[in-house]
Structure 1
Amino acid sequence: MDHQPVIRPARADEYNAVARLWMASWCSTGLDVPSEKLLAALQERVPREVHNGWSLYVADDGGQLVAMLAINIPQLYLDQLMIAPSHQGRSLGRRLLAFTRELLPDEVWLRCAEGNAKAWRWYEREGFVLEKAEADPVHGRIMKYYRWKRGRQAAAP
């Protein structure tokens, strides 16, 4: 039997689990290593970002959280799409992106660390177009800013 995780709004009592998932997914890129400091920062950030406008969703696979999706709908901004390493490569990202486009049907913005080539190449394949790249003032990483617009085809590489 092939079942799909259920995409649903995150509950406040799941925010620490969301932070752990976020850390595992982010560190799977090789851009950071798991640490208590990183986990604490993410645990502090999740409720603050929800308070500041995130619509936070999770993919629930039989009670196990396997992905998080954070969208700021008024800003047309896909802030975080993180998938547990155990569930990467199973088209869950594509489902979460389709869900995002249901909420933001005409335009979606996102940013991606330049060092996370696997992610930004995937977004480019999914029709996102690079708008700019600049250093993030908080952590200094070069961030690539992408936009998807309904009906616009990405230029051929």
Structure 2
Amino acid sequence: MMPDFTLRPYTAADENAAIELWRRTWAQHYPHIDFDARVGWWRARWRGELVPACDIIVAENYGALAGFVTVDPKTQYLDQIVVAPEHWGSGLARALLDEAKRRSPSGLYLLVNKDNARAIAFYAKHGFTYDGEDKNPVSGIAVNRMRWRP
């Protein structure tokens, strides 16, 4: 059953909620990492790198931020797709991914942590294929590069 959510463009008023959603979601997936300590770094990256370059679409569920996707249509890079844990498996991630594809119709690529089997399976299910090894440009962790071509 699809939750009641709406997609809309990001506004500056969404910043705190988006950053908290990022922190909470990543902390749920990687509980051994202190994401509280990374919020300042993430806020600087959000403001300095993602907001200026990316189309950011947020999903709201009854007025609360439930997810977002960041995609740079110029480079075709999907940097983030974040869905609140309580909405995992709900169809919200697919809706955000479909919106990213709509905004970058000639293709998309992304980097995904090799240990994130759930995300790898999700992207494969939605038409992404393995496109080689890479390294996360921030953490240096080995990742899979995945690509979607229409």
Q: Secondary structure at the match of 2:89?
A: coil
Task: Return the index of the structure with the highest Cα Rg.
Answer: 1
* 1:49-94, Cα deviation, whole Å (9 max, x unpaired): 2354111111011220000110111111111000011111101011
1-side partners of 2:98 and 2:35: how far apart?
A: 32
Larger displacement relative to structure 2 (48-57 or 70-79) = 48-57
| Aligned-residue offset at 1:34 | 4.4
Does structure 1 residue 91 correspond to structure 2 residue 74? no
Does structure 1 residue 25 correspond to structure 2 residue 25? yes
Gaps of 5+ in 1: 151-157
What amino acid is aligned across from residue 93 of structure 2 in structure 1?
G
2-side partners of 1:73 and 1:87: how far apart?
A: 26
Q: Could you tell me whether the CA contact under 8 Å between 1:66 and 1:87 is conserved in 2?
A: yes
* 1:105-132, Cα deviation, whole Å (9 max, x unpaired): 2311111111111101111111111111
Aligned to 2:67: 67
- Give aligned-pair identity as a percent: 26
What amino acid is aligned across from residue 17 of structure 1 in structure 2?
A
Aligned to 1:115: 115
RMSD between superposed Cα atoms in Å: 1.8
Q: How many residues matched?
A: 149
Aligned to 1:43: 43
Aligned to 2:128: 128
Aligned to 2:143: 143
Pair 89,96 (structure 1): closer, same or farther in 2 beyond 3 Å: same
Pair 54,137 (structure 1): closer, same or farther in 2 beyond 3 Å: closer
Q: Which has the higher helix share?
A: 2
What amino acid is aligned across from residue 115 of structure 1 in structure 2?
D
Q: TM-score, normalised by structure 2?
A: 0.89
Gaps of 5+ in 2: none
Pair 31,148 (structure 1): closer, same or farther in 2 beyond 3 Å: farther
